[in-house]
Amino acid sequence: MYTKSDLLSQLEALRIPRDRVVLMHSSLRLVGQIEGGAKTLLDALIEHFTAEGGLFCVPTHTWANLSKDIVLDVNDPHTCLGAFSDFALADGRGVRSENPTHYMVVFGDREKADAFVAGEIDVISGTAPESCYGKLYEMGGYVLLVGVSHARNTYLHAVDEMLHLPNRITEDTTEVKIKRASGEVVTRCVKRHSCSFTNDISARFPQFETAFRYHGAITDGHLGDAPVQACDARIMKQVMETIFSRADRDPLSDEAALSPIWYVKK
């Protein structure tokens, strides 16, 4: 049984600067037994990552609602990502963005959080460079993978868009409806993630891990029982840019390991 003090010690060991933006993808089940449950875990994460002016973010995606009349209802406490995302969203201390498909709840200084999520309702895609996912790069943030692999690293979709990679996003747009906190329903047009050679390109994102590690993008640790990768957003983008500039084909076009010549230092 882990206490809040145990969790804070594990977070401290990751050595992530506490004035940055941290986005966490997680498996609550793999964290294990915590005294006080999910509330203690969320309290520890907020306390640690916002104490020196940082922001702590939990993804609360609704892309699974694309076939429904309302894709995002800001007052709906359910997400398509699991128990911890639902819990963080219902907590009430965070600021909710209005990204139609990839929105998040942001904890920390209210003014900073409001500025971070500003404009999300108008993004052309869920992970557009001008979205919170692009701001994660601009602000020198980190992605925290707790008990999950890079297949859950949504930020890498944003890197795809920042690098203008082909075969990653639709040319056409889909009309979606968003129900705001006031009850007003607005319509927006968004592009969707799409790839011709696989139904889920994110399932191949773990192929980047070896390259990320080679370039020092990842710090390993634990949160409860769960293995943790603390990933530097800027280094991950730099590594992917190197890979795509050197590769003679789309490096994710099959499930083979990446060729080292695409990422080793020359």
* Range 100-118 average pLDDT: 96
Helix (H) or strand (E) holding 226: strand 226-232
Q: Does the pLDDT at position 36 exceed 90? A: yes
Burial of 250 (0-12, 13-18, 19+ CB in 10 A): middle
Q: Does the pLDDT at position 161 exceed 90? A: yes
* Cβ–Cβ < 8 Å for 49, 109: no
Q: Does the pLDDT at position 106 exceed 90? A: yes
pLDDT in tens, 183-242: 999 999 999 999 999 999 999 999 999 999 999 999 999 999 999 999 999 999 999 999
Query: Residue 260: what pLDDT?
Result: 98
Domain regions of the chain by residue span: 4-262
Helix (H) or strand (E) holding 4: helix 4-13
Q: Residue 79 — pLDDT band, cuts 50, 70, 90?
A: confident
Token pair of 33 as six digits: 């037994």
Residue 247 has what DSSP assignment?
Answer: -
User: How far apart (Å, rounded) are the C-alpha atoms in residues 240 and 173?
Assistant: 26
Mean residue pLDDT across the chain? 95
pTM of the model: 0.96
Q: Does the pLDDT at position 81 exceed 90? A: no
Q: Does the pLDDT at position 77 exceed 90? A: no
Query: Residue 78: what pLDDT?
Result: 84
* Range 47-70 average pLDDT: 93
Q: Does the pLDDT at position 247 exceed 90? A: yes
Q: 150 vs 24, 43, 65, 167, 237, CA distance in Å? A: 12, 25, 23, 19, 14
- Please state whether 82 falls in left (phi above 0), alpha (psi between -120 and 50) or beta: left
